[in-house]
Amino acid sequence: MNDISVSTTTKQNDSDDQTSIEDSRAELRAAVTESHEILIKVTTFGLFPDTVTLDRTQLTVTKRMFLRVAEVISMRVEDILNVIVTVGPIFGTVKIFSRTASISPCVINYVWRADAIRFKRIAQGYIIAIQREIDCSQLSTADLIRQLEQLDQTDSRA
């Protein structure tokens, strides 16, 4: 009789472990899928253009110096403190302040004016949403972008 109860308990523990592993795999797949959903990507003007990409989980800045030579900076969206844009008639400069680089901001020059303004709106909107603990995971990427642009109500007529 004891052998039967031990066998049943072992099977139940194996089943629980299998369910836990499947849950972990599903969560990991969801995180990978979410990290590939780009909210905005801007490219600078130049011979070796830099790129700034904001997805649902992180911000990635790729600064190119030469052919196949680049510095890649990544930071979690939660670590972004502020985004400042300075615009001129054609180009703009994006400054990203984060907890990880608290001494000097990450500066991206020669971003097209409209791209710089749009990047700031989406990034600031996303920062506000995260600070207010708003769950954005259920929104489609297109709907999230629309909502984030509306959340940051700054005047773009500078």
Residue 110, Ramachandran bin (φ over 0: left; ψ between -120 and 50: alpha; else beta): left
Q: CATH for 37-151, among 2.30.29.30, 2.60.40.420, 3.10.290.10, 3.60.21.10? A: 2.30.29.30
Query: Residue 85: pLDDT above 80?
Result: yes
Asked whether the whole model's pTM tops 0.85, one would answer no
- pLDDT the model gives residue 90: 96
- pLDDT the model gives residue 158: 47
Q: If you count them, how many residues does the chain have?
A: 158
Domain boundaries, the chain: 1-35, 37-151
Q: Which of 102, 127, 99, 112 is nearest to 39 (CA)?
A: 127
94-103 confidence digits (pLDDT tens): 999 998 766 7
Structure tokens of 103? 């001494």
Q: Which of 24, 55, 48 is nearest to 119 (CA)?
A: 55
Q: What is the mean pLDDT of the chain?
A: 83
SS3 at position 123? helix
Query: Residue 51: pLDDT above 70?
Result: yes
User: Average pLDDT in the 9-15 region?
Assistant: 54
Residue 98 identity: S
Number of Cβ within a 10 Å radius of residue 86: 13
70-83 confidence digits (pLDDT tens): 999 999 999 999 99
